[in-house]
Amino acid sequence: MSAVQRMTIGLQRPAELLLREVRVLDPRAGIDAVHDVRISDGRIVELGAPATIAADHDEELIEGHGRLALLPAFFDPHVHLRTPGQEHKEDLATGTRAAAAGGFAGVIAMPNTDPVLDSAPLLRSLRDAAAREARISVGFLAAITRGLEGEQLTEMAELREQGALGFSDDGRPVHSAGMLRKALQYQRLCGGVLALHEEDPTLSRGGSMNEGAVSAALGIGGIPTVAESTMVARDAALAGYEDARVHFQHLSCAASVDAVADAKARGFRVSAEVTPHHLLLTDEEVRGMDTRMKMHPPLTSEADRQALIEGLRAGIIDCVATDHAPHARDEKEVPFEQAPMGTTGLETAFAALHTGLVLPGVMPLEMLVTRMTAGAGLFELPTPMIARDELASVTLVDLEAEFIAGEDGWQSRSENCCFGERPLQGRVLLTLAGGAEAHRRLELAGAGAA
């Protein structure tokens, strides 16, 4: 089975569109210029100089006026779609709708569902459901250990045959080095990237936030950053020893970036991701004990945040992932220490990073687009390109549009977004996934039509 066949998307009508005078920016295709783009039967069929392509009768015309930017659609290798078992938080339809609203055409769902995605029949039924409900491409990671309990490997080969894109015990670490080593060895048989949530529970136990001045002042148990970085270093060593392919999830501190840099310098086959919230927020946000600021790993210090930004710029961290983790309102409306960990992120990722990193000049837009699309390649999937004959997986963004996050509500079933109520700039107007329209903001209809 090819990697692409492991992705599932619901059937939708192919798009017929003419985008006139849009800024086409695709670093992989080497384009950053104003163009006319014709999409017919879901494919990019023409890519010409601005105002040179005339509209046909059967297609919709969208005028970009040089202000709207057409980007390759983003890819998120780390989301929680909460299905099966926790559909009150999110399901395949609402989760992929939220993703499309954020400009994503592909996501990878984590297996910490209820029941845990650790058997082939469950994976089969999930993929069937995604073929009916998913607006964008969804891939599934299966659990590394049964029930995420860290004691017995899942039937990894059989799960791969049923379409598992890879494996993860996300939400929990594989605490036993011996168990992880067996999984890495088994990867030789069945392939599939192992995505690792790194945390030493003997160091993190009792903690609800980052350890430091803020946790000391609030009297909330602290999680030291070494709870993550020591495990990154351990598992990088194991991956090197077994020549295995591992991906480190949601890095949160400087020491973890150093550990990944060291592993890469040694030629180990490792990659890493970082979330928008770890790139933009610090544990100072927790002072108000807002439960939207409680996530796993926790928000860390300013020095750690700077190291993460630098790691992402240098390519030590390969891609952005949101770790979109929806929770119902009543689950988050409790005292901080009682609240579940997680923030939603799909709908705000691009706008938040554009506002927080691109506009202040910390990172050029091309680099942000590269890092927000690189996740696909890490899981052996093709990255969408804006080029002739390609199936259109693109997102149209108004880089000037300012808005308040969440002001029109959320596409996700949950609203626990750490960027909620913040002013952001850079709004996704339209997303095509696999050639079909997956998201459109209402104001776009008519506004640009001839």
Partner 1 sequence: MKHLLSIEDLDRPAIERIVTQAERFAEVSDREIKKVPALRGRMVLNLFYEASTRTRSSFELAAKRLSADVVNFAASGSSVEKGESLKDTVLTLSAHKPDAIVLRTPWAGAAELVSGWCSAAIVNAGDGKHEHPTQALLDVYTLRRRLGQIDGASIWIVGDVAHSRVARSNIIAFQRMGAKVTIAGPPTLIPRGIEQLGCDVRFTLDQLDSADIVYALRMQRERMSETWVPSLREYAGCYQINGRRLSPHQLLMHPGPVNRGVELSGEVADSPQAVITAQVEAGVVVRMAVLYELLAAARQAPPLSGRSQLADAAAAVATGQLA
Catalytic residues: 323
Beta strands 31-40 and 43-48 are antiparallel
Nearer to partner 1, 180 or 214 (CB): 214
Instruction: Kindly report whether the peptide bond that precedes residue 84 is cis, defined as omega within 30 degrees of 0.
Output: yes
Contact call for residue 207 and partner 1 (CB under 8 A): no
d(C-alpha 167, C-alpha 366), whole Å = 30
b/e 324-353 (16+ beta carbons within 10 angstroms → b): bbbbbeebbeeebbebbbbbbbbbbbbbbb
- From the CB of 57, what's the least distance to partner 1, in Å? 57
Contact call for residue 202 and partner 1 (CB under 8 A): no
- From the CB of 294, what's the least distance to partner 1, in Å? 11
The pair of three-digit structure tokens given for residue 104, joined into one six-digit string: 């994503």
Q: Are 235 and 198 in contact (CB under 8 A)?
A: yes
Contact call for residue 216 and partner 1 (CB under 8 A): yes
Contact call for residue 189 and partner 1 (CB under 8 A): no
Contact call for residue 215 and partner 1 (CB under 8 A): yes
- From the CB of 415, what's the least distance to partner 1, in Å? 16
Which of 219, 267, 360, 446 lies at the binding interface for partner 1 (CB under 8 A)? 219
Nearer to partner 1, 160 or 296 (CB): 296
The pair of three-digit structure tokens given for residue 343, joined into one six-digit string: 């923030």
Contact call for residue 217 and partner 1 (CB under 8 A): yes
State the amino acid at position 409 in one-letter form.
G
Residues in the chain: 450
Per-residue binding string, partner 1, 318-337, x by CB under 8 A, is ------------x--xxxxx
Number of residues in contact with partner 1, rule: CB under 8 A? Answer: 21
The span of 188-196, 206-214, 251-259, 390-398 binding partner 1 (CB under 8 A) equals: 206-214
Per-residue binding string, partner 1, 236-275, x by CB under 8 A, is ----------------------------------------
b/e 399-412 (16+ beta carbons within 10 angstroms → b): bebeeebbeeebbb
Q: Are 299 and 283 in contact (CB under 8 A)?
A: yes
Determine phi and psi for 423, rounding to 5 degrees: -75, 130
Which of 52, 125, 176, 338 lies at the binding interface for partner 1 (CB under 8 A)? 338
Contact call for residue 297 and partner 1 (CB under 8 A): no
Contact call for residue 200 and partner 1 (CB under 8 A): no
Strands (E) in 6-102, as ranges, are 17-26, 31-40, 43-48, 60-63, 68-72, 74-79
Contact call for residue 449 and partner 1 (CB under 8 A): no
Burial classification of residue 437, based on how many CB atoms lie within 10 Å of its CB (0-12 exposed, 13-18 middle, 19 or more buried): buried
Contact call for residue 58 and partner 1 (CB under 8 A): no
Short-list 346, 308, 339, 305, CA closest to 325 = 346
Q: Are 155 and 120 in contact (CB under 8 A)?
A: yes
The span of 79-87, 98-106, 129-137, 208-216 binding partner 1 (CB under 8 A) equals: 208-216
Rounded to an integer, what is the distance from CA 369 to the centroid of its chain? 13
- From the CB of 214, what's the least distance to partner 1, in Å? 7
Contact call for residue 214 and partner 1 (CB under 8 A): yes
Contact call for residue 218 and partner 1 (CB under 8 A): yes
Nearer to partner 1, 333 or 443 (CB): 333
Contact call for residue 212 and partner 1 (CB under 8 A): yes
Determine phi and psi for 405, rounding to 5 degrees: -55, 125
State the amino acid at position 380 in one-letter form.
E
Contact call for residue 201 and partner 1 (CB under 8 A): no
Which residues in the 339-368 window bind partner 1 by CB under 8 A?
Answer: none
Nearer to partner 1, 421 or 443 (CB): 421
Helix (H, G, I), strand (E, B) or coil at 410: coil
Which residues in the 131-150 window bind partner 1 by CB under 8 A?
Answer: none
d(C-alpha 255, C-alpha 250), whole Å = 13
Which residues in this chain contact partner 1 in the complex, by CB under 8 A?
211-222, 224, 289, 330, 333-338
